[in-house]
């Protein structure tokens, strides 16, 4: 599949009673797609997926899937775990429900890079949907170098990677300089979206794009068109705004801003997360106004 453009990993809004605010979730999904996003990611880290019950995960997937079908957009669903067999079972359940699956590099168990390759090789041979690898070392404790990622990217059912290594390092540069064929390297650290676009990334999976989605789409278009002056200026402003949303654990500040703007009924998050401080939310709102 061709993965390019901006994909938004949706939050899970909660009502005053603590249940999922389904109407607010649907409104957010419509809004970001109306803003030009190429698709949605359901059940990602931003969705607080670890705190959702099985029936809640099904409800989120159903809502996001319905909205994507209405817009002709791509739905990527978070699936998998550190257990290869369990991950394969989770992927099989996505048949007919998603266009692709976002699968994190195994966390906590910290396999070798050979083990990471074996994990994705096994999944690639069983999955009914294309895979997007989620490479995020500061959450998984496992770094995957450019050479191993190229091998993973060469597997026939692996469509891309959400590249979130905390910056632009040597592996980032090497991977973007020589990517596997038909393998999309998507920016996964919001403040570095513009930098990865400049290096050739076709798009990103960006929680920040809940806010002013069209400007992120505009940025991707500017780099693609070679409008460097505009892309640099807009990229700096979007990077500053994105950074302000991650001063506390994601998605606490983002939820605070969305609630302040009347887009979700509460800023509630589920433990062990706690709501963002007012100062953090106000700083993010100030950065957003500068756009």
Is 76 annotated among the ligand-binding residues?
no
- In 3D space, the residue among 99, 21, 16 whose CA is nearest the CA of residue 56 turns out to be 21
Please identify which of the residues 95, 134, 138, 255 carries the catalytic annotation: 134
d(CA 286, CA 291): 9
In angstroms, what CA-CA distances link 10 with 161, 174, 175, 233?
A: 18, 30, 27, 27
- Give CA angle at 192 (118, 207), nearest 5°: 80
Verify whether residue 138 is a known catalytic residue: no
Could you tell me which residues come within 8 angstroms of residue 129 by beta carbon, excluding any fewer than 6 positions away?
Answer: 91, 94, 95, 98, 99, 100, 101
DSSP string over 18-53: SSB-HHHHHHHHHHHHHTT-SEEEESSGGGTGGG--
Verify whether residue 95 is a known catalytic residue: no
Is 136 annotated among the ligand-binding residues?
no
Burial class of residue 73, CB neighbours in 10 A (0-12, 13-18, 19+): buried
- In 3D space, the residue among 155, 159, 156, 111 whose CA is nearest the CA of residue 7 turns out to be 159
Could you tell me which residues come within 8 angstroms of residue 113 by beta carbon, excluding any fewer than 6 positions away?
Answer: 144, 145, 148
**Helix/strand/coil for 283:** helix
CB 223 within 8 A of CB 231: yes
Q: How many CB atoms lie within 10 A of CB 4?
A: 15
Please identify which of the residues 95, 138, 162, 255 carries the catalytic annotation: 162
Could you tell me which residues come within 8 angstroms of residue 147 by beta carbon, excluding any fewer than 6 positions away?
Answer: none
**Helix/strand/coil for 173:** helix
Please enumerate, by residue number, every residue annotated as part of a binding site for pyruvate: 46, 205
Catalytic machinery residues:
134, 162
Please enumerate, by residue number, every residue annotated as part of a binding site: 46, 205
């Amino acid at each position: 599949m061709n993965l390019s453009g901006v994909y938004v990993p949706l939050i899970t809004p909660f009502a005053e009673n603590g249940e999922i605010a389904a109407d607010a979730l649907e409104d957010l999904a419509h809004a970001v797609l109306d803003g030009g996003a190429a698709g949605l990611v359901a059940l990602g880290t931003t969705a607080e997926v670890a705190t959702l019950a099985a029936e809640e995960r099904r409800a989120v997937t159903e809502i996001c899937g319905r909205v994507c079908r209405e817009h002709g957009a791509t739905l990527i669903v978070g699936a998998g775990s550190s257990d290869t067999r369990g991950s394969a079972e989770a992927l099989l359940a996505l048949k007919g429900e998603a266009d692709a699956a976002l699968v994190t590099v195994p966390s906590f168990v910290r396999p070798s890079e050979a083990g990471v390759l074996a994990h994705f090789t096994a999944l690639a041979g069983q999955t009914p949907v294309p895979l997007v690898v989620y490479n995020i070392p500061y959450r998984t404790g496992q770094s995957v170098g450019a050479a191993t990622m190229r091998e993973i990217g060469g597997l026939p059912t692996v469509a891309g990677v959400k590249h979130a290594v905390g910056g632009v390092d040597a592996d980032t540069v090497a991977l973007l300089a020589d990517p596997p064929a038909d393998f999309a390297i998507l920016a996964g650290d919001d403040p570095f979206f513009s930098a990865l676009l400049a290096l050739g990334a076709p798009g990103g999976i960006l929680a920040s794009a809940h806010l002013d989605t069209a400007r992120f789409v505009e940025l991707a278009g500017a780099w693609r068109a070679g409008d460097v002056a505009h892309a640099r200026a807009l990229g700096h402003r979007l990077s500053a705004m994105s950074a302000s949303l991650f001063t506390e654990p994601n998605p606490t500040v983002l939820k605070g801003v969305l609630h302040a703007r009347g887009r979700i009924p509460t800023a509630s998050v589920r433990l062990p997360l706690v709501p963002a401080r007012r100062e953090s939310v106000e700083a993010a709102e100030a950065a957003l106004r500068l756009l």
